[in-house]
Amino acid sequence: MKRICINLLVCVVGMLVVTGATRNAQGLELRLESVREAQLVGEPSDIRLFLVNKGPEPALIDRAFLQLNIEMEMGGEWLACGQQQFAILPGVREKAEWQRIEPGGELLIGLGGFWCPEDAGPASRGRSWRERPGDYKLRVEASHRVPAQALEQIGPAPDGANEWTLRSKVIAIAVNEPTGIDAEALGWAREHGHDPAFSVEVANAFPDSRYADWAVWKLLSIHGGKPEQLKEAMERGFYPGWNSVPDPSSPDGRRTVNAGEDMARWRIEQGERLLRKGNFPYARDVRLSVAVSYAAIGNKEKAVQLLNSLKSETGTPESQWAAGFLALQGWQ
């Protein structure tokens, strides 16, 4: 099935395990998916929304005309989790950006971060669903409407750009209380006012915790970079780019690592450590980063071995990426 991705960063992960979908009379289906069925308190969620064309004709949509209504069941009650809307602003876009979905194809709409209950923002610690252990259910309603005012600005909508409202099926997500070192890391993060995931302070204080893994992964991931872009930057010695990494021995808990081979070696060391621990949700993405980092330090043999391993796992974004990079390098 062909996938068209609006957000390349979201497309970096392969396996999806929890799904729900509905279809309208034109054959369009709204499918809601989560990368994993369960997560720890305070971990980031990865929830995705796809528009699938199972009808006989191509469909066209423009993200600017989408409105998403998010609802979650908490404690046996369905609560509103807010709207996500993308509008054409006068003077910003003078024409529509129609995306075509062929029969049998699908479009990743993306689903940004959301608070639930709706008013449980960053200042309301412990109230949002990610901060409270429990079993949750989620559904999304998506509407595609082209207002008359927009048509005056962008011109008539083409054939296939229909108006519709779809609701996804319900998916379930469990948020679990951490144990052991993870529980210690979460408690320390809350006591000191840090977000447990992606926090350098938490990574330094509890390097073996699951929460520290997220901070390291953020520095490892290629984040949707294209093979040709990375190849060019690598040849100029600029990939991976320099960064500030966790370092508990330094006064401020950070250390600057230079671009090129230095950062590549750091990524290899940290990526292989993550993979040895196991059970990281984005392990395939970590493997890709490690493979490209081996290429950056000139270890072609190891890079080719790892890239071919990813290439063999067909049907994943990492497989496609690895194949493209191997072809660009002329490697087998």
Q: Which of 153, 176, 199 is the last residue of a domain?
A: 176
Identify the CA nearest to 324 among candidates 231, 233, 257, 192.
231
Q: Residue 316 has what pLDDT?
A: 87
Q: Residue 91 has what pLDDT?
A: 45
Same domain, 22 and 99: yes
Q: What is the DSSP letter of 122?
A: T
Which pLDDT band holds residue 23 (cuts at 50, 70, 90)?
low
Same domain, 168 and 228: no
Judge whether 182 lies within some domain: no
**φ and ψ at residue 38, rounded to 5 degrees:** -145, 150
Cα gap 241→262, rounded to integer Å: 9
Same domain, 83 and 158: yes
Q: What is the DSSP letter of 307?
A: H
**Rounded to the nearest 10 degrees, how much is the dihedral formed by the CA atoms of 85, 86, 92, 98?**
-150
**φ and ψ at residue 104, rounded to 5 degrees:** 85, -5
Burial of 228 (0-12, 13-18, 19+ CB in 10 A): exposed
What are the b/e assignments for 174-193, b being 16+ CB within 10 Å?
ebeebeeebeebbebbbeee
What are the b/e assignments for 283-311, b being 16+ CB within 10 Å?
bbbbbbbbbbbbbbbebeebbbebbeebb
Identify the CA nearest to 226 among candidates 320, 330, 315, 307.
320
Cα gap 120→114, rounded to integer Å: 9
Cα gap 36→175, rounded to integer Å: 11
Average pLDDT, the chain: 85
Judge whether 122 lies within some domain: yes
Which pLDDT band holds residue 94 (cuts at 50, 70, 90)?
low
Q: Is the pLDDT of residue 152 over 70?
A: no
Same domain, 172 and 272: no
Q: Residue 89 has what pLDDT?
A: 47
Token reading at 279 = 């059970």
Q: Which of 149, 176, 203 is the last residue of a domain?
A: 176
Which pLDDT band holds residue 10 (cuts at 50, 70, 90)?
very low
Which H/E stretch holds residue 319?
helix 317-329
Query: What is the share, in percent, of the chain residues with pLDDT greater than 90?
Result: 60
Same domain, 119 and 231: no
Distances (CA, A) of 164 to 27, 67, 182: 11, 11, 44
Judge whether 204 lies within some domain: no
Q: Annotate 170-186 with three-state secondary structure.
A: CEEEEEECCCHHHHHHH
Average pLDDT over residues 256-281: 95
Same domain, 171 and 107: yes
Same domain, 38 and 158: yes
Which pLDDT band holds residue 268 (cuts at 50, 70, 90)?
very high
pLDDT tens for each residue of 187-234? 999 999 998 999 999 999 999 999 999 999 999 999 888 999 999 999
Which pLDDT band holds residue 12 (cuts at 50, 70, 90)?
very low
Identify the CA nearest to 136 among candidates 223, 76, 179, 200.
76
Which pLDDT band holds residue 113 (cuts at 50, 70, 90)?
confident
- DSSP states of 1-19: --EEES-TTGGG-----EE
Identify the CA nearest to 317 among candidates 225, 191, 253.
225
Judge whether 325 lies within some domain: yes
Same domain, 105 and 17: yes
Which pLDDT band holds residue 2 (cuts at 50, 70, 90)?
very low
Which pLDDT band holds residue 239 (cuts at 50, 70, 90)?
very high
Q: Residue 86 has what pLDDT?
A: 59
Domain count of the fold of the chain: 2
Judge whether 161 lies within some domain: yes
Judge whether 202 lies within some domain: no
Judge whether 258 lies within some domain: yes
Token reading at 67 = 């409105």
Q: Residue 161 has what pLDDT?
A: 78
Q: Which of 110, 141, 176 is the last residue of a domain?
A: 176
Identify the CA nearest to 71 among candidates 105, 109, 20, 27.
20
Judge whether 207 lies within some domain: no
Same domain, 14 and 148: yes
Which pLDDT band holds residue 13 (cuts at 50, 70, 90)?
very low
- DSSP states of 40-101: ETTPPP-EEEEEEE-SSS-EEE-GGGEEEEEEEEETTEEEEEEEEE--PPTTT-SS---EEE
- DSSP states of 242-282: PEEEE-TTSTTSEEEE-TTHHHHHHHHHHHHHHHHH---TT
Peptide bond into 117 cis (omega under 30): yes
List the domain range (segments joined by +) for residue 88.
Answer: 3-176
Q: Residue 241 in contact with residue 259, Cβ under 8 Å?
A: yes
Same domain, 134 and 8: yes
Same domain, 16 and 147: yes
pTM: 0.80
Same domain, 161 and 233: no
